[in-house]
Structure 1
Amino acid sequence: MTHASDKWESAILVALMAAIVLFTIITAQRGRKYFIRRIPGLNAIDEAVGRATEMGRPLLMVPGLSGLGVVGLQALTIFSYIIKAAAKFGNKLIMPTADSALYTVAEEVVRDSYAAAGRPEDYDPSSVYFLSDRQFAFASGVAGTIFRERVAASFLFGDFFAESLIFAEAGQQVGAIQVAGTPSTTQLPFFIASCDYTIIGDEYYAASAYISREPTLLGSLVGQDYCKILVLLVILIGVVGISIPALGKNWWFVQWFTLK
């Protein structure tokens, strides 16, 4: 049996996609402005911060059960934007974490965000804390915090599992405006049903790239979209080609991507 990795044609396609991503990253780093459409959930961030300011109640940011990985770091990128917006108005922030490594990084992110907003003296070390690495102990602790503090806005970004609905229901009961985002498809239905705004799937990564405007993230995101278009074109050409009797399975283009 021949695997895709054994076919030089597939290797060419992979190399082409890598070149596309590298090209968009380099051009973004050199100043090219790539467009990313505005996501409705991002518009709600400023609205939620403003509401918390008016009500004089804190903001809650939960990175779920994320560890120090891609999903967790993306969540911290989004939280950094929220913190900078909240720091301007002196909002109280609460960020419980379930991973000790992520907690350490989150402390630095919060401190740096206050400094970037020009309010380093407002940073409260107790606003970021490690709660528990046990799923439902963490869920119970966060739910208790929501009820005790009566948060005005709840931001749920990261990896979530069965505890997702516990957080969202608690936020609903205290009247918090809730914005959630996760790449976990199994939890999206619960967030969509119980949160005001939900960032779905790939929008999670696009959101952090848009907010941070970091050239490497922007270039990588756009490059991956170009690669998706390329793969779709290959599939479309293959389907059309194999459907034409004069070409069929023996057409060289189809043979390129056929495993034997």
Structure 2
Amino acid sequence: MKGRVLVIAGSDSGGGAGIQADIKAITALGGFAMTALTALTAQDTLGVHDIVPVAPGFIRRQIDCVWDDLGTDAVKTGMLGDIATIRTVRDALRARPTVPFVLDPVMVAKGGASLLDSAAIGVLRSELLPMASLLTPNAPEAALLAGLPLDHVGQMEAVGRRLFALGAGAVLLKGGHLPGDVLTDLLFTADGIEEFTAPRIATRHTHGTGCTLASAIACGLAQGLALPAAIARARSYLQRAIAAAPGYGSGAGPLDHAVTTRCDPLVG
């Protein structure tokens, strides 16, 4: 086991996304997952049915306890929910040594439920995003953060450049929500743009793909992988997990996060 990853995010009672997906992905790739819960959700494959936020002071307490005793090699954030939580995380990270920080700007659940107050989007953009080593928005999230339309692959470069200019160390703009048989993700860094592509897997079982990918990347960074290598490994793991999805639930079902225990390992 190598690489301590602190995940600051919400819980998914259905086990497919959120903290549950984060822990599974990090463990499957040989890392050690630690958590600071920001919210509890009553959730299944059909959607989010209720949310109970965690008090900001207790979020900070979780972060401090983990960091002071166990240490942290990388941080990943998911559902933050509101301005108070964003600023709690901002302050906690400012008080600590700099480690790779993957910011997954979770805004809307797969079923359409809002997971971030509209008033908090600007705060996330201006106060937390510039601290991130990597921002991992999907197309709808990227459009909101950039203030630009994103309806097809041809618009990705302009949106990605706008997001990169906001101050994150790198931006991985994900194209899974865009039409086409080929899924395209673009990585924006100071060195330029790198393209990652893969055939789209025809399935409704894609619950938690964003959480899973971001945590898998954070695990790679915690283990010392360079960013492009961490992304390539994470995407390969995610594709296998989608292809092996068990088919649970009546809606957008979960992935098979344990896929690496039954095939050639991706860890290392």
TM-score by length of 2: 0.37
Indicate the structure (1 or 2) with the bigger Cα radius of gyration.
Answer: 1
Instruction: Say which structure is richer in strand.
Output: 2
TM-score by length of 1: 0.38
User: Relative CO higher for 1 or 2, CA cutoff 8 Å, sep ≥ 6?
Assistant: 1
